[in-house]
Structure 1
Amino acid sequence: MNAVTELVFPAPAAATLAVAGSSARFPLGRVFCIGRNYRWSADEAAPTQMPAWFMKPASAVCAAQGVLAFPPATREFCHEIELVVALGRGGRNIAAAQAEAHIWGYAAGLDLTRRDLQQQAKQAGGPWEPAKAFDRSAPCTPLVPAADCGHRGPGAVWLTVNGVERQRAYVSELLWSVPELVAMLSRSVTLLPGDLIFTGTPAGVGPLSPGDVVAGGVTGIGEFSMTVGSPADAGATDIYQP
């Protein structure tokens, strides 16, 4: 007879992300975010070491639509457009040549940042979580299964603010490819089905203000348009709203 586990309060609903063209939803695990992974200037030297990475909670992921919440505790709220990779298989010490077999699908996402808090953390040698892991800091378009779109080649990654382009690059310009990123992470932690990987942002990151219209996407994967809300609109809630 199996023992019944008694929870002290009801477990929160699992975080999920929409799947393009389907009523199914993708259950989310962890969110890994890759640091600098594009050249931000033409004369930037080729990297000799794999990029740094950090994490956001699954509860930070939200649909890239409607109002883009302006977070509290910042005066420099910045956008970073990225290709997002969703894993359907986990593993440890995955070879780069085998990494695509672990990828379930792709999305376009924003790694939103409280830049002033990030700079403070860099100067103090402190953690980045206050700058990166806040509520609704990882908006994503619906996931497109790799079975439908294939694995990403030279598609454009782009973002505009109020119709003015700020960021544009191509997936083929990643300093470390998606398979290399999967392999790198798997050497450090055991990857799990449901994990997301934000693969890094191109040059052109910049601040957002209330009322700005932010549009972006990854060619062949998804596009979005959101309007930045007022800090006063970021009211407290007791229930996570995916």
Structure 2
Amino acid sequence: MSGYLFEAPEIKSIPVRGEDRSYPVRRIFCVGRNYAAHAAEMGFEVDREAPFYFTKSATTLTHTGATIPYPPGTSNFHHEMELVLAIGAPAFRVSPDEAMSAIYGYCCGLDMTRRDLQQAERVKQRPWDLGKDVENAAVVGPITKAADFGAVARQRIHLDVNGETRQDATLDDLIWKVEEIVSHLSGFYHLAPGDLIMTGTPAGVGAVVAGDRITGGIEGLDPIELTIGDAE
């Protein structure tokens, strides 16, 4: 007997390119409004005071190639294509230069969002959990090690729905660069292996419906694919 009252939750993990073992996921942090054009399309101006964050439960993690049900409680389910950082070493109060050594690798990610619920809670100055911490809504591709990916620079990031391009930008459009994000976040958390950081989405987010097929990619990383199924 395990000593638990019921079966313990599965540890979610991500395959790593070139490795037999997978990357176990501990926590998922997400950076909000980290591309100026996306902030503008959401009706906000971006400043350089500090990045801000929300979180998703590790249980929301879903692998590329999945078909997920259209989630309950929404009629405006949005795609957000993102670069995801995978932390591979402890990081607490590190400088931007030190932060790079804590990054194990990178992967493509989708931050799927119940936009109507997010916006309704935002108007009331309430947390975004109903809009963001959604089952199956942290979709990821395989991880590429940082040394194999190289510097985060002008790599293209893009997303199509049913073959039509909706998001198309480059990673140098990130307002807060990856080393700045890790450094800043490490001032509030003891970052550790297993922590993911979704770095924000470019402009062009939009709604999807049952039957839609989402494909996306970042130059140098394995692409991502998701199909939206019927509501449960």
Output the TM-score relative to the length of structure 2.
0.92
Q: What SS is found at the alignment partner of 1:73?
A: coil
2:210 paired with 1:210: yes
Structure 1: distance between partners of 2:228 and 2:59: 20
Counterpart residue number, 1:219:
219
Which residues of 2 match residues 1-242 of structure 1 at below 5 A?
6-40=3-37, 47-232=47-232
CA RMSD of aligned residues (A): 2.0
Distance between the aligned counterparts of 2:213 and 2:6, measured in 1?
40
Q: Distance in 2 between matches of 1:199 and 1:119?
A: 20
Change (3 A) 1:125 1:220: same
Q: Which amino acid aligns with 1:179?
A: E
Q: CA deviation at 1:69?
A: 2.9
Give the stretch that moved more between structures: 58-67 or 107-116: 58-67
Aligned amino acid, residue 37 of structure 1: N
Larger radius of gyration: 1
* Structure 2 CA distance for partners of 1:50 and 1:42, relative to 1, 3 Å: closer
- State percent identity of aligned pairs: 38
SS in structure 2 of the partner of residue 142 of structure 1: coil
Find the aligned partners of 2:98 and 2:198 in 1 and give their Cα distance: 19
CA drift of 1:42 comes to: 11
User: 1:31 is matched by which residue type in structure 2?
Assistant: I
Amino acid of the structure 2 residue aligned with 1:117:
L
Structure 2: segments with no counterpart, 5+ residues: none
User: Does the Cα contact within 8 Å between 2:91 and 2:99 map onto a contact in 1?
Assistant: no
- Say whether the 8 Å CA contact 1:100–1:151 is kept in structure 2: no
User: Deviation at 1:218?
Assistant: 0.8
Using the alignment, how far apart are the partners of 1:27 and 1:199 within structure 2?
19
| Structure 1 residues 130 and 106: CA distance shift in structure 2, 3 A | same
Stretches of structure 1 lacking an aligned partner (at least 5 in a row): 233-242
How far does the alpha carbon of each residue in 1:156-194 deviate from its partner, in whole angstroms, 9 at most, with x for none? 110011111111111111011000000110111111111
Classify the secondary structure of the residue corresponding to 2:186.
helix
Distance 2:161 2:2 in 1: 49
Which amino acid in the other structure matches residue 146 of structure 1? A
**Kept after mapping to 1: 8 A contact 2:33/2:39:** no
Structure 1 length-normalised TM: 0.89
CA distance in 2, matches of 1:177, 1:145: 18
SS at the partner of 1:92? coil
Q: Deviations over 1:41-99 (max 9, x none)?
A: 79986623122200001111110113143111110000000000000012211100111
8 Å Cα contact 2:28-2:197 kept in structure 1: yes
CA 1:69–1:217 in structure 2 vs 1: closer, same or farther (change >3 Å)? farther
> Could you say which residue in structure 2 is the equivalent of 1:239?
none
Q: Which amino acid aligns with 1:111?
A: D
| CA spacing shift, 1:210–1:10, aligned 2, 3 Å | closer
